[in-house]
Amino acid sequence: MFANVCTSCGKRELVFSDQIRNLRQTATGFDVRYECTCGASQVWHVERAGASPVSVAA
């Protein structure tokens, strides 16, 4: 379960596992595709911890 702002209805909603349609691994983490309670298809990108050396600038 996670919370995300829908790009369609603009609401911050809790997303439950039964709303998740697809998980896709990317270079930096994974994309979670889910359906908002308004019916819009949404994507939530999750960064994998420690997997973004490109953005590290001391």
**Which residues from 21-50 bind Zn ion, rule CB under 5 A?**
36, 38, 40
* Pair 42, 32: CB distance under 8 Å: no
* Binds Zn ion (CB under 5 A): choice among 5, 8, 16, 21: 8
**The one-letter amino acid at 38:** C
* Pair 43, 33: CB distance under 8 Å: yes
Query: Which residue's CB is nearer to Zn ion, number 13 or number 28?
Result: 13
Pick from 28, 58, 30: which is nearest to 44 by CA? 30
* Binds Zn ion (CB under 5 A): choice among 6, 15, 32, 34: 6
What are the residues binding Zn ion (CB under 5 A)? 6, 8-9, 36, 38, 40
